[in-house]
Structure 1
């Protein structure tokens, strides 16, 4: 190191200021670690300047601060001795003052203007969740949250700046986070209220000036805030997220275009044109080795060589030019396929956009036409049920054009370009592009019409486009003679046989029932005798089902009347209906239209029932039992179920012939060992065989077997064709037949014998116990009673409490002898009667499915009184 200093100036300054000696001492101490190359220090009196080459600035700053601190310390030491002669001694040298000021220690520094220090701006962050429906009052499930998140709604964390923002600023933040809220007519905030596991949403009160950060913080601390639109449901179409590239850009060596790192690799795969010359072999870099030094040599000019470098150790290198060309041809084909796929995707998107534009245009045109047609007060009211579950009603003049009806139905925001409506009593549909008046299309009375949107991808869309080519529009003239045989159309069915389950299907069928409506014609009066038994349930049901205005798509009103012809006084809240459906299914099982073993029933021929269409009515009763109450037959034979499903069955056997005399004659023919014996047996049965069309002359034993099989097939299946047709027609009620044929394997357990009986574990699991507060004496008694209850169920299952069965227990509580496949509509619960109530028998509320258990000191007493209550229930009145 060398120092260049003005000698004269340095000596003059060093005599008048001690700074020089301090600098020299400190620089000597730190010179080894701070200076690595040439350093030139220039010191001039009144001016302090330096130039440092390749020196760490942090080291220099530390050295100079140490110097300044040392000077301050010395100045304080000598200040006392200089006070007396301060007037005569000159002030501190300007260089000293400047160094002390610039290189003062951090602890002694004072900010230039502390009063204007910037304060940190406060923020408020909270989690919000945007709902899609204006009437949603329950917190969404996990599946609904995922669906809403995909639609651009769902949960987001929104940060607000400041605590006193205005309502307009708060609204702007919300609309920025959820753009789909724009145009929904405002929004309101909700929170979860109630108990810990409650999912009920309640509205957060809105101040007069609107929601602000301050008002929200008053009502919500840390929980999730829900946002709900006020006037219009939000479109839940999934949002396509535009994911841009990331990373720096790099130029493609083939086309010289720049791409992000995230996009470059995919671009390179398809960058080369198919027209490029494919005769050259690829350049494959050899690994670095002494034999191939040039790939890593910076002096090699790779661009001047036309010969590729091939790694001879690579097994994937083509062995010939033909193989390389084949590989390039395959790559070119894949490239063309990608181009074609992209083109198809683009065309599909363009087509979807066009279809959506046409749909919106059609809705607008319907709304404009409907403005000029006011509703007439003297018109006939028509009710429309939409696929979303919404119901609308309007009065129409039947002599006017039916286009008014289509405009009213199709003005809904979810409407499609084409749709059709269908009456619950007819198999004929009215397409939205039909013409004529209401009367021309056989709409002559007030009724409920079901709306079905036809999507562009639906097979029904093409017939709807071509429907205008037909000169004559179909009408309701083909309406069935039995008014309630046919079902409303299935709406929005999105399940398939691979992923559907029986519970989902039954819930979909049950959703077609209008539980808010209970017409007078749906009242069913059932009479009990003094023993509690019911004898006229089939007759009462037939009388109700044959009423002209009976509607299976509405709620049933079941009234039990005792032997004194007075009502039992129970309002049908569900329990009487379940008991009625159970008793009705038992009566159906014993009906004269069935024959065969108890769990393997098949149809039999009854001409009186055929004339009165009893087969159809009983099938409709079974449909109502299954859909309204989940009561399954469980007694159909495999053959009868296959016949309903339209599936082939195994050939009929002699055991299935219900006529004993005819069966004996066929057995005699079949057991004949010679042709002569068989002919003799055929002669004896000539009249019977002639009736079934099976009499013929035989010459071989094989012909004998064919004759017997023909007679059996006709007796078991052929003669029942008309009865089977009526029976199958009845299952069209509420669309049950369509689902049975679509999912025969799922419905087989409902109609054919179910091999799994009711178990004690099933009843224990289906009930929810309402316990008292833990740790109390009452809770201890309740726990003991529940132990008695579970032990008793096990004894009932093991037959220790015969004749009481688990089915009897479930009947006592719910009115149903089995757990419905789709579950009970309400949660069955158990309550414990007060210990001091004095009640020894259980009580049940079949409407709410509540079982109240008595308190007993020991299990034997509990067991005895429970069995007595179940056995005496028909006359005991404990319900």
Structure 2
């Protein structure tokens, strides 16, 4: 019978050790005790060099306020905070760049509940500014390298200066004369520019003889007059495409008195069109997505179109326009027609709304403008209207600045615009508007691009696709908060199914996506930041909010699962949120 008894003499299982749960979050230490906004890119670099700026700091989930304080001022945090007379924690709220104080307890449990598991926390000194001197390095490198001319060894830090002196003493290695025949570029001046002078509101183009006189006077300081004939040949090769485009080309013809002017002229719209077409043909690129991706990088100027990292602050030049939601297209026609350089990133502000456009409002503007455009100008065509050139500019901007594709043209109109030599005057104006950013010329060279205008070519939005686009950021598996988040997310999925089946009135899946991202469809080049869902504890309101510039939907949850409202109440709140068209509740 002993054979069937369990072996009591064997090794006993060891008791499992309780795993230590941790919480890692991003902390950004500011130097200015009066700072009210997140720093810009230059300030970030300065702070980073000083040992401040952004750091990921790990805590135990059981840490109290004293432990959090000790970690923040310890070696893993910011030791400079020890002697500044105290500091405070801040964060940025949705759709706002103003820093706001965190008023809850500093324990890890409280910070996770109020701020969330991924939000960045800013640290600001109270009594003294922190020093922003560079962290001391360990001295220059001791590595050495031999000069290829004199074969002598020099420290790496001194080698460049020595090489420059060697080059200066070697006549054979001197730079070639930039003004010789081999480096000159023969100019092509359109005959129409050689015969007369054109005057517009912004530019004046001189006749060919006056142009030569200007170049001669501008180059008179060179001393050696024998070089002037060669210099006068150096111009930008500029070929007018059509009679309609003459006034867009002539701004690039004229005296080029500096290298910056030469570089600006060489980056004209049609040069970029030619460069893009040559590149795509050489590499066998016919996909309109890849064509646009390459062309967008070359043609768009100023600030970045979208935030690519939710921790960065994007800055730069923009074309600022004010739009009336009650007359979107009318106000857009007025604003866009007054822009002189369409290549600069567009910044949209809706009347009476205080949000800063970092991508979201611009996308929504294109959705609304194209919707009105299709109804008012292409169904049917208003042949007598003089607005089609500006309409073409709006369509080109939407294509190149991550907006909705302008699928407002029927097959017959597409054929008339892109395949027929002769077309109606209104369609000629539309061509001219598209070509203000080179879209029409690029489509003629690369016909695959015409597909972005084809109706019905976008992928339909389904519950499956929308749920894949909106990725939920859950808390740690097994935590009580994760269970509550799962309940709320399950209710949200049920709501999306009701929307897809038409049981929520006029609300569509596109309405939800537009609420989160500003766009009612996935951009042809994709989202710069993947759309996401963040769960935030709030016992007072369960009305969803969104950060369209970083494509984030905020779903509010309760601290206890029994405090979650019923589906009827929750879905009514969702209806109200997704029908709200304003940036900020109204």
Q: Report the TM-score when normalising by structure 2.
A: 0.52
Q: Does residue 544 of structure 2 align to residue 842 of structure 1?
A: yes
Match of 2:333 in 1: 542
Equivalent residue, structure 2, for 1:575 = 360
Q: Cα 1:876–1:526, aligned 2, differ >3 Å: closer, same or farther?
A: closer
CA positional deviation for 1:617: 1.4
Q: Does 1:451 align with 2:451?
A: no
1:419-568 to 2 correspondence within 5 Å? 420=236, 426-427=248-249, 437-438=255-256, 449-451=264-266, 488-491=272-275, 493-496=278-281, 498-511=284-297, 512-516=299-303, 522-528=319-325, 534-535=326-327, 537-547=328-338, 550-562=340-352, 568=353
Which residues of 2 match residues 747-766 of structure 1 at below 5 A?
747-754=450-457, 756-766=459-469
Q: Is the 8 A contact 2:535 2:555 kept in 1?
A: yes
Q: Does structure 1 conserve the Cα–Cα contact (< 8 Å) formed by 2:287 and 2:448? A: no
- Equivalent residue in structure 2 for 1:646, among 419, 423, 443: 419
* Equivalent residue pairs, number: 360
Provide the C-alpha distance between the structure 1 equivalents of 2:436 and 2:280, rounded to a whole number of angstroms: 20
Partner of 1:793, secondary structure, is helix
1:400 aligns with 2:218: yes
Do the aligned partners of 2:499 and 2:509 also contact (CA within 8 Å) in 1?
yes
Give 1:605's match in structure 2, choosing from 356, 369, 383: 383
Equivalence for 2:499? 796
The alpha-carbon deviation at position 554 of structure 1 amounts to 0.5
CA distance 1:449–1:526, change in 2 (3 Å): same
How many angstroms does 1:626 deviate by?
1.5
Deviation string 1:670-721 (CA, Å, 9 cap, x unpaired) is xxxxxxxxxxxxxxxxxxxxxxxxxxxxxxxxxxxxxxxxxxxxxxxx8x53
- 1:728 has 2:431 as partner: yes
- Taking the TM superposition and a 5 Å limit, the aligned residue runs for 1:689-768 are 721-754=424-457, 756-768=459-471
Aligned mates of 2:291, 2:136 — CA distance in 1: 40
- What is the CA–CA distance in structure 2 between the aligned matches of 1:754 and 1:795, rounded to whole Å? 26
Partners of 2:518 and 2:216 in 1: how far apart? 46
Q: Residue in 2 aligned with 1:773?
A: 476
Alignment of 1:88-167 (within 5 A): none
Deviations 1:230-274 (Å, cap 9, x if unpaired)?
99xxxxxxxxxxxxxxxxxxxxxxxxxxxxxxxxxxxxxxxxxxx
Which residue number corresponds to residue 117 of structure 1?
none
Give how far 1:627 is off.
1.2
* Shift in Å, 1:775: 2.5
Following the alignment from structure 1 to structure 2, what is the Cα–Cα distance between the partners of residues 587 and 402?
Answer: 56
Greater Rg over alpha carbons, structure: 1
What per-residue deviation string (whole Å, max 9, x for no partner) do you get for residues 257-294 of structure 1?
xxxxxxxxxxxxxxxxxxxxxxxxxxxxxxxxxxxxxx
Q: What does 1:240-255 align with in structure 2 at a 5 Å threshold?
A: none
Per-residue CA distance 1:134-173 (angstroms, 9 max, x = gap): xxx9xxxxxxxxxxxxxxxxxxxxxxxxxxxxxxxxxxxx
State how far apart, in whole Å, the 2-side matches of 1:447 and 1:590 are. 44
Matches of residues 65-104 of structure 1 in structure 2 within 5 Å?
none
In 2, Cα distance between equivalents of 1:402 and 1:643: 52
Indicate conservation of the 8 Å contact 1:636/1:753, yes or no: no
Q: Distance in 1 between matches of 2:221 and 2:301?
A: 27
C-alpha change, 1:875 and 1:578, in structure 2 (3 Å) is: closer
Post-superposition shift, 1:513?
A: 1.1
C-alpha separation in 2, matches of 1:206 and 1:785: 51
Partner of 1:863: 571
Return the offset for 1:842. 0.4
1:190-229 superposed matches below 5 A = 207-210=138-141
Change (3 A) 1:756 1:848: closer
Equivalent residues of 1:812, 1:870 under 8 A apart = yes
Question: Cα gap change, 1:742/1:727 in structure 2, threshold over 3 Å: closer, same or farther?
Answer: same
CA RMSD of aligned residues (A): 4.4
> Using the alignment, how far apart are the partners of 2:463 and 2:291 within structure 1?
27
Q: TM-score, normalised by structure 1?
A: 0.36
RCO greater where, 1 or 2, for CA within 8 Å and sep 6 or more?
A: 2
- Cα distance in 1 for partners of 2:142, 2:441 equals 51
In 2, distance between residues paired with 1:740 and 1:403? 45
Give structure 1 stretches of 5+ with no counterpart.
1-136, 138-203, 213-229, 232-359, 370-395, 405-417, 453-483, 529-533, 563-567, 597-602, 649-717
Is the Cα contact below 8 Å between 1:630 and 1:822 reproduced in 2? no
For 1:770 and 1:577, how far apart are their aligned partners in 2?
A: 26
- In the TM superposition, 1:262-341 aligns within 5 A as none
Distance 1:626 1:729 in 2: 15
Structure 1 residues 487 and 846: alpha-carbon distance in aligned structure 2, compared to 1, 3 A threshold: farther
Matches within 5 A, 1:655-694: none
For residues 506 and 489 of structure 1, do their structure 2 counterparts lie closer, same or farther at Cα, with a shift above 3 Å needed?
closer
Corresponding position of 1:591: 376
Question: Structure 1's 620 and 792: CA in aligned 2 closer, same or farther, altered over 3 A?
Answer: same
User: Would you say 1:877 and 2:580 are equivalent positions?
Assistant: no
- Distance in 2, matches of 1:584 and 1:730, equals 15
What residue is the counterpart of 1:277 in the other structure? Answer: none
- Alignment partners' CA distance in 2, 1:448 and 1:545: 26
Q: Give the structure 2 partner of residue 637 of structure 1.
A: 410
TM-aligned CA distance change 1:858 to 1:486, over 3 Å: same
Conservation of the 8 A alpha-carbon contact between 1:402 and 1:437: no
- Mapped contact 1:422–1:450 kept (Cα < 8 A): no
Query: Which 10-residue stretch deviates more, 492-501 or 625-634?
Result: 492-501
Report whether the alignment pairs 1:784 with 2:487: yes
Q: 1:570 to 1:877 in 2, by over 3 A?
A: closer
- Cα distance in structure 2, aligned partners of 1:628 and 1:419: 31
Q: SS where residue 393 of structure 2 aligns?
A: helix
User: Structure 2 CA distance, aligned partners of 1:760 and 1:398?
Assistant: 68
In the alignment, is the contact (CA less than 8 A) between 1:527 and 1:560 conserved in 2? yes
CA distance in 2, matches of 1:401, 1:776: 75
Q: Tell me the secondary structure at the aligned position of residue 579 of structure 1.
A: helix
Q: How does 1:333-352 map to 2 (within 5 A)?
A: none
* Structure 1: distance between partners of 2:582 and 2:484: 30
User: Which residue number corresponds to residue 166 of structure 2?
Assistant: none
